[in-house]
Amino acid sequence: MFPPNLLLKRMLFGKFSYQFQHSVIESYHVKTPQQNYLRPCSKMDPLNHFRKVSLHHSTVDKYISTEQISFGDVDFGLTFKQIRKFKKKFSYYDIQKYEEIEWRRLGFKEQIFSYGVRRIYHFISDEFFYGELFFPDIRKVDHSKIARFLLEKYLGKVDYKPGSDFRIDNPGAFIFYENSGINLSIKYISKINGEINEKINKLTKASSLLVNSSKSDLEAIL
């Protein structure tokens, strides 16, 4: 049961608000309940999950596709409320604030090729701009099979070096396939909203907001 101050914040701002969520995290004397809206999508914050996409990669293979890039059956640009209405039984949720920018994540448990995966919707300015398929433990998936299937879907037959990262672009979006050696993340990112692109560029250039990647990887498994 929440203490009165947290119950008041949940009532005033809502259970998905940064004010309530941050207060729960800061309340060390509160044992976090098992409600889905208090289970984070990942132990890494969303910006660190995104950070590798923003780096210059001379070793990442890049491809151009004429196929439309979409994240399942959900269109980019929908609001948090619209997706909540469309997909009700979520498993994870968290929200982070970087200066004035709020970044939400909404996650669902799914199966792909019989592998457990988290399907995560990312929102900035209350707009869905980035979808992620996150496999927490790469030892439990055939990552080469997943990579080949993804490349064939958007490009046809392509020579692929198992374990390597790659990027697939089209004019409206891109896919970034990231194999950290610990987990696997497939990121589907819209490029259409210029305002969100500008905010992302601002965040990724603010190096003080990013922690060392090896530290993030350790935090995710310890």
Phi, psi of 85 (to 5 degrees): -70, -35
Question: Hey, is 30 helix, strand or coil?
Answer: coil
Which pLDDT band holds residue 188 (cuts at 50, 70, 90)? very high
Task: Decide if pLDDT at 220 tops 60.
Answer: no
The confidence score (pLDDT) of residue 33 equals 57
Token readout for 146 is: 């997943």
Task: Count CB-CB contacts under 10 A for residue 135.
Answer: 20
Question: With contact defined as beta carbons under 8 Å apart, do 191 and 197 qualify?
Answer: yes
pLDDT, tens digit, 9 for 90 and up, residues 88-136: 899 999 999 998 899 999 999 999 888 899 999 999 999 999 999 999 9
- Mean pLDDT computed over 46-50: 88
How many angstroms separate the CA atoms of 101 and 89, rounded? 26
pLDDT in tens, 2-47: 778 888 888 899 899 999 988 888 875 566 557 899 899 988 889 9
Task: Please indicate whether residue 95 or residue 221 has the higher confidence score (pLDDT).
Answer: 95
What is the layout of strands, in order, in the sheet containing 166-170?
61-64, 166-170, 173-179, 184-190, 127-135, 115-124, 101-112, 92-98
Q: Which one has a higher pLDDT value, 220 or 52?
A: 52
Instruction: Please tell me which residue, 39 or 217, carries the higher pLDDT value.
Output: 39
Question: Alpha-carbon distance 47 to 100, whole Å?
Answer: 14
What is the number of other CB atoms lying within 10 angstroms of the CB of residue 32? 11
pLDDT, position 221: 35
The predicted model scores a pTM of 0.87
Number of alpha carbons in the 13 Å side-chain half-sphere of residue 45? 14
The closest of 137, 80, 89, 128 to 109, measured between CA atoms, is 89
> What are the two backbone dihedrals, phi and then psi, of residue 106, each rounded to the nearest 5 degrees?
-125, 120
Q: Show the tokens assigned to 182.
A: 């610990």
Rounded to a whole number of angstroms, the distance between the first and last alpha carbons of the chain is: 28
- Structure tokens of 102? 């709020």
- Average pLDDT value over all residues in the chain: 86
